[in-house]
Amino acid sequence: MAKTRVAFFCQHCGYESPKWLGKCPSCGQWNSFAEEIVTPIARNSTSTRKSASPVSLELVRTAEEDRIPIPDEELNRALGGGLVRGSLVLLAGEPGIGKSTLLLQTALQLQHLQILYITGEESEQQIRMRADRIGLTHPAFYLLAETDMQAILKILHQLKPDLVFVDSIQTMTSSMLGSPAGSVGQIRECAAIWQEFAKSSHTPVVLVGHITKDGLIAGPKVLEHIVDTVLQFEGDRQYVYRLLRTVKNRFGASFELGVYEMAERGLRPVSQPSALFLHQKEEVFSGSAVAATLEGIRPLLVEVQALVTPSLYGTPQRTVSGLDLRRLQLLLAVLEKRGGFHLHKQDVFLNIVGGLHIEDPALDLAVVAALLSSFEDLSISPSTCFAGEIGLSGEIRAISRPAQRIAEAARLGFRRIYLSRYNQDIPPHPEIEVIPVGRVEELYQQLFQG
């Protein structure tokens, strides 16, 4: 019999230690170690499994990926054109953000496939109630409320479904280990079992994953390495919009973006998100600017709102929503040093409208425009948008895919777009004027002194 032992695992990266540690020596996280009971798996040395042999690259046959198209255009885009047969997909997000709803409505739309939905968190009755709310039925949709991997594998070999959904990987357990569900060992072992099943049976498997309080995918980092695709489902609960980001994809482009609107009967795909995130106003106020950003290869126009006001306390406030605070502090320092704007005694509040979180560096120019607009209390024309990255010396750097940003801005009715003068070979557009700028001082002069 294999001897049971106690070990401590980092819940962030999976590092193993014989004793508890305050700081993980592998990933540097504090207070991340948890105690687990480990039962080694007895390996049969006389296994008949055939070992792999090296193959010449020229002899390897290539074939087009066999994909299952998804009726949901936003999910289809995030997956790179559909579910690849034999792939393992991880969908992660906060509790209550809509992960189960998205998977259930997707499964019910695939009427031509036999689907097995494995639930370890909800009962069959709860799933049925959600399906009734969505208003869809499926003749070959099967529910399984089970968490033991060995029992699940037996049913999989009997049913032989075309597609498997697992909600969630943190509830799955393997009898090969003595640790509880959700532990590093169980997540790693169960993910490996699902990977082996997906590859051997040529069946796509979609796993639901939890996230930590820091917004990272719960469990060992090896989980993200095992799966083929990682999708992050995010959004602000105060808003109805949800974003589906592609963090990793072995079969398509990473950093794609899908947009959904939470409705009474499930999640509704949004095909033109820019029109939703640009709020229509009867009056034009200072401190507002529109940025032509890019998420993956998808152009997205968003509104940036800024409020700059004299500080009434000793230390000025810096409050931001939808943008990295360190990026805002960098832009404020550039305006102070290179532009000569005295913002060190001003409270600064910045918000990306719609609850979005944008990481595109091209957002910088719109942020600076909104800050200057609020600082001078002068409004910017609502038909003007911005796209450019700000450097530490105050220069406006070139951005990627300017033609796509210009085309999206023109489609939404904008008449002027400010871009970096270092973006070369931009073809003229008949419906929008492209205004090149090189430094933040030049942007200020053209906006408020021209």
Q: Which residue has the tokens 């033109």?
A: 272
Q: Which residue has the tokens 């193993």?
A: 16
The length of the chain is 450
**Sign of the dihedral defined by the CA atoms of residues 176, 179, 182, 183, in that order:** negative
* Residue 180: both structure tokens together: 């509880």
SS3 (DSSP) at 309: strand
Quickly count: other Cβ atoms within 10 Å of residue 231's Cβ: 25
Q: Is 180 annotated as a binding residue?
A: no
Q: Is 96 annotated as a binding residue?
A: yes
22-58 burial code (b ≥16 CB/10 A, e <16) = eebeeeebeebbbebebbeeeeeeeeeeeeeeeeeee
Bridge partners for 115 per DSSP: 141, 163
Q: Is 95 annotated as a binding residue?
A: yes
CA atoms within 13 A on the CB side of 189: 23
Q: Is 50 annotated as a binding residue?
A: no
Is cis: bond before 32, omega within 30 of 0?
A: no
Report the DSSP pairing between strands 384-386 and 288-295. parallel
Q: Is 68 annotated as a binding residue?
A: no
Report the DSSP pairing between strands 241-249 and 229-234. antiparallel
Bridge partners for 33 per DSSP: 10
The single-letter code of the amino acid at 68 is I
Question: Helices 124-134 and 99-109 meet at what angle, rounded to 10?
Answer: 70
DSSP state of 23: B
Q: Is 430 annotated as a binding residue?
A: no
SS3 (DSSP) at 52: coil
Distance between CA atoms of residues 286 and 357, nearest Å: 22
Distance between CA atoms of residues 368 and 389, nearest Å: 10
The single-letter code of the amino acid at 446 is Q
Task: Detail the residues annotated as belonging to a binding site for ATP.
Answer: 93-100
Annotated binding site: 93-100
